[in-house]
Amino acid sequence: MTTKSILTALALSVAATGAALADAHSNGAKIGMISTLSGGGAGLGVDVRDGFLLAIEQSGRDDIEVIVEDDQRKPDVAVRLADRMIQSDEVDILTGIIFSNLAMAVVPSAVQQGKFYLSPNAGPSALAGRGCHENYFNVAWQNDNVHEAAGAHANALGYENTFVMAPNYPAGIDAINGYKRTFEGEPAQEVLTKLGQTDYASEIAQIRASGADSVFFFLPGGMGIAFLKQYADSGVDIPLVGPAFSFDQTIVGAVGEAALGVPNTAQWSPDLDNEANVAFVAAFREKYGRIPSMYASQGFDTANLILSALDKAPVSEAEAFRAALREADFASTRGDFRFNTNHHPIQDYYVREVVEKDGELINQITGTALTDHADAYAAECEM
């Protein structure tokens, strides 16, 4: 037993030395990706993963190893995977989490253990303000931002009292706060729905009775599919406005014509006209045979950010690597992209609309909602 333990220890230390030596020679990296790849919500994780891996493949680098694992949308599973990746796989960088409640469970402990975490999606307010960390970078948005864009667009449309609806969980609260932060009118009524709820008959009846002039809703994934179909069928004709999450490429096919013509806000769109994006959309379609979603673009940008930083410094030199990430010196699919003091993006937000084009439903930009927009929590962040 003792001999065996000693041998194991020896083998491990040799392996560790080998890894250290390899690191010294090149700026390789081991990246752990924890994402939602099964169950409801898997479409989002699959797109983040596919976008991320596309960028790594395009870089042609073979010194970057990506370990992909499925969190099943369960916080406890995500925590277990993160522990394993940090302790036994010894990854340098973690990424991939889709849902804010999972991010809250994983990110604080990972960054405190000296790992870098780059979020390709979830941007809970708790990690943008007082809870920010020098090793945590959000490459998507702070949760509130996309909803702030919706609020700004509601002002532009002249709405004055909106029926506001979101599920009762951290990102849902962020959504309502975000919308109300920019919206200049009065919310007619606020309703928190159950997370995962798929029947909105009751809420639609309340919308009908509310006398509101517009409806803001944040219902990602299957919740949004269900709501849009039921709303279209209810005969209520109060106009909708919302963030991109209920209109994205992953679900727009399932929503069908009920999604047409509703303004939705996002930091990205497949028709956004810049060199990096045109190339990305073409390459993604070529490789996976489908139109990329916003999530895919975020995964792609996250990987390119990591690649740009690795070109400047190895992960082992944490200080220099962090500085390289902060520069955000990569060609983002969104065009202009830079980091705020709290490592969250400052970027433009667009208004999009789902249209039918060549027999496919796809988002198209109709205008800009917010320019060079930063989140509301940066001032509270001390690094």
Partner 1 sequence: MTLLLIEQLLNGLQLGVMLFLMAAGLTLVFGVMGLINLAHGSLYMVGAFAAAWVAAQTGSYLLALVASLAAAAAAGVLIETLILRRLYARDHLDQVLATFALILIFSEGTRAVFGSFPLYLTIPPPLSGPVTLPGGIEYPLFRLVLIGAGLAVALGLWLLITRTRVGIRIQAGAADREMVSALGVDISRLYTLVFALGAALAGLSGALVGTLQSVEVGMGEPVLITAFVVIVIGGIGSVQGALVGAILVGLTQTLGAFLLPLASTRLTGAPDAGQVLASMLIYILMALVLIVRPQGLMGRPA
Q: What are the Cα distances from residue 261, in Å, to 138, 162, 240, 364?
A: 30, 18, 9, 10
Cβ atoms 138, 115 nearer than 8 A: no
Stretch 104-133 residues interacting with partner 1 (CB under 8 A): none
Give per-residue burial for 146-172: e unless 16+ CB within 10 Å, then b. bbbbbbbbbeeeebebbbbbbbebbbb
Strand partners, 352: 264, 365
- According to the binding rule CB under 8 A, does residue 40 interact with partner 1? yes
Among 155, 161, 177, 206, binds partner 1 (CB under 8 A): 206
d(C-alpha 187, C-alpha 374), whole Å = 23
Q: Give yes or no for residue 101 binding partner 1 (CB under 8 A).
A: no
Among candidate residues 205, 206, 202, 201, the one with its CA nearest the CA of residue 190: 206
Site for partner 1 contains 186 (CB under 8 A): no
Length in residues, the chain: 383
359 dihedral zone (left: phi>0; alpha: psi -120 to 50; beta): left
Stretch that binds partner 1, among 15-23, 91-99, 130-138, 193-201 (CB under 8 A): 193-201
Of 29, 31, 33, 42, the residue at the interface with partner 1 (CB under 8 A) is 42
- For position 177 contacting partner 1 by CB under 8 A, the verdict is no
| 3-state DSSP of 330-356 | CCCCCCCCEECCCCCEEEEEEEEEEEE
75 part of the interface to partner 1, by CB under 8 A = no
| Token pair in block for residue 230 | 């039921």
Query: Among residues 288 and 331, whose Cβ is nearest to partner 1?
Result: 288
Binding of residue 59 to partner 1 (CB under 8 A): no
Count of residues engaged in binding partner 1, rule: CB under 8 A = 37
Q: How far apart are CB 225 and partner 1 at their closest, in Å?
A: 4
- To partner 1, the closest distance from the beta carbon of 204 in angstroms equals 9
Question: Which of 194, 221, 226 lies closest to 45 in space, CA to CA?
Answer: 221
Quick note: the x/- pattern for partner 1 over 249-288, rule CB under 8 A, is: -xx-xxxx-x------------------------------
CB atoms under 10 Å from CB of 133, counted, come to: 18
Give the contact letters, 294-333, x = binds to partner 1 (CB under 8 A), - = no: ----------------------------------------
Binding site for partner 1 (CB under 8 A): 37-40, 42-43, 46, 168, 190-192, 194, 196, 198-199, 201-202, 205-206, 208-209, 221-222, 225-226, 229-230, 233-235, 250-251, 253-256, 258
